[in-house]
Amino acid sequence: MKVIEYLEKATETLISFEIIPPMRGRSAQEVYTILDQLIEFEPPFIDVTSHAADAYYVEQKDGSFKRYIKRKRPGTLGLCAGIKYRYKIEAVPHLLCRGFTREETEDMLIELNYLGIENLLAVRGDDPNYQKAINPDRSKNNYAIDLVRQVADMNRGRFQDDILDSAQTDFCIGVGGYPEKHEESPNLEADIRHLKEKIDAGAHYAVTQMFFDNQYFFDFEKKCRDAGITVPIIPGLKLLTKPYQMKSLPSNFHVNIPDTLVAAMTAADSETEAQQIGVEYLKKQAGELINAGVSCLHFYVMNDVHLVKEVVRSLK
């Protein structure tokens, strides 16, 4: 079942989650243990992030360093299959522009289609520290809108090569939205225009970047509606549990954290107190969004689940 269908049929606010694959060499059981704890909330869908190859260096016995190119977190496809058929929950794999050619993306989409996975999130991806060489006979998607167009083309039976009697896919396409604007956009209005272009290209819904002040979301949603964006917009939420996140999250995700939360977290006397401050803040934030009538809350779990469970249980 498609994400958009769940959203259209929902009679109360849905709860969804986003997880990351384990590090290379670790067991998938790490993720299944997390999923075992999340199924009590009956999520209609779960997102699984994707990661391009990274460059890293390992010191050798002679003191030199050897460069390796690997994906540190492979396994998105396999985990999505496990979520769909082991837990009977719809899986939403993330598809990236960066680090993958259009040909590799087409192969991935074919695999997803064969597996019966109907949903995906099309994102550009972060700047990798390794620039993959593209062979002359291959091409790439530069922006998320290019990726949306490629998936939309396959939904119409158009592949990279002209294929006679090609079968159409039927993917539900999600994209990202930024209540505080994307870091590369000159202003929020320009960012919303880019979002509308992705919707017009074939995207069916949007999931927002994390935010910690609901007014950003409410203002963003209104401006999207005023711009003619009618698809569902799902708010993305993140639990703060550690004082150092006051610096790391704004630095990495370009989001603002309210002064009251910063002051409370930095004044916490212990890790336990900081965690509880974050939990109570997210309970209040999520409750306000539910009261405002949002169709779904999307929690960025990132494989740290026990405190998120406390928040969601309070909402239920």
Residue with the larger pLDDT of the pair 110 and 140: 110
Place of tokens 């249980």: 313
Can you give the pTM of this predicted structure? 0.92
CA 147 to chain centre: 15
Q: Which residue has the tokens 């809350």?
A: 297
**Predicted confidence (pLDDT) per residue in 99-119, tens digit:** 889 999 999 999 999 999 999
Pairing of strands 205-210, 172-177: parallel
Q: Is the pLDDT of residue 89 over 90?
A: yes
Please give the mean pLDDT across all residues of the chain: 92
Number of domains within the chain: 1
Asked if 249 and 210 count as a contact pair (C-beta separation under 8 A), the reply is yes
Percent composition of the chain: helix, strand, coil (DSSP 3-state, to 5): 40, 20, 40
231 compared with 132, residue with greater pLDDT: 231
- d(CA 158, CA 164) in angstroms, rounded, equals 10
Q: Which residue has the tokens 């604007």?
A: 181
Q: Whole domain around residue 144: which residue ranges?
A: 3-315
Give mean pLDDT, residues 229-252: 95
Phi, psi for residue 239 in degrees, rounded to 5 = -85, 125
Are 154 and 171 a contacting pair, CB within 8 Å? yes
Q: pLDDT digits over 8-66, tens only? A: 999 999 999 999 999 999 999 999 999 999 999 999 999 999 977 666 666 676 666 66
Beta partners for residue 56, in sequence order: 68
CATH number at residue 123: 3.20.20.220
The total of other beta-carbon atoms located within 10 Å of residue 129's CB is 10
pLDDT of residue 165: 87
* 103 in Cβ contact with 81 (< 8 Å): no
